[in-house]
């Protein structure tokens, strides 16, 4: 049991009554990022084909939910962004910590 009101998870509020939900209560696990069945890339790593097991495994950013407190439906739209960057060289200590012993 976590301490009250110290969570840092994003909270989704019912637009009707203000009841709060965590994303994991509204979204099915994996529904936001999807679960690809088959991904085909060309020789340069560019994705040229993608397929999902079922429609439910495709990324779904919009979810319909009925509030458990006021019993009114509302729509939740997730915004997910991904960033990729090269690792910073100074954070890679794997070769700098080799010490030579006499």
Residues within the interface to Zn ion (CB under 5 A): 14, 16-17, 19, 67, 69-70
* CB of 65 vs Zn ion, minimal distance in Å: 10
* CB of 6 vs Zn ion, minimal distance in Å: 24
Pairing of strands 36-41, 62-66: unpaired
Q: Is the separation of the CB atoms in 27 and 63 below 8 Å?
A: yes
Residue placing its CB nearer to Zn ion in the complex, 17 or 39: 17
90: three-class secondary structure by DSSP: helix
Residue placing its CB nearer to Zn ion in the complex, 12 or 14: 14
* CB of 1 vs Zn ion, minimal distance in Å: 24
Gap between the Cα atoms of 6 and 59, Å rounded = 30
Q: Which runs of consecutive H residues, i.e. helices, occur in 1-102?
A: 23-26
Residue placing its CB nearer to Zn ion in the complex, 23 or 34: 23
Residue placing its CB nearer to Zn ion in the complex, 19 or 39: 19
* CB of 76 vs Zn ion, minimal distance in Å: 12
Gap between the Cα atoms of 13 and 6, Å rounded = 17
């Amino acid at each position: 049991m976590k301490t009250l009101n110290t969570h840092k998870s994003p909270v989704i509020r019912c637009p009707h009554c203000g009841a709060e939900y965590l994303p994991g209560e509204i979204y099915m696990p994996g529904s936001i990022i999807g679960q690809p069945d088959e991904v085909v890339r060309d020789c340069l790593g560019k994705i040229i084909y993608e397929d999902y097991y079922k429609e439910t495994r495709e990324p779904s950013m919009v979810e319909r939910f009925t509030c458990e407190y006021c019993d009114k439906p509302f729509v939740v739209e997730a915004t997910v962004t991904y960033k990729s960057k090269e690792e910073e060289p100074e954070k890679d200590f794997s070769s700098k910590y080799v010490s030579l012993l006499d």
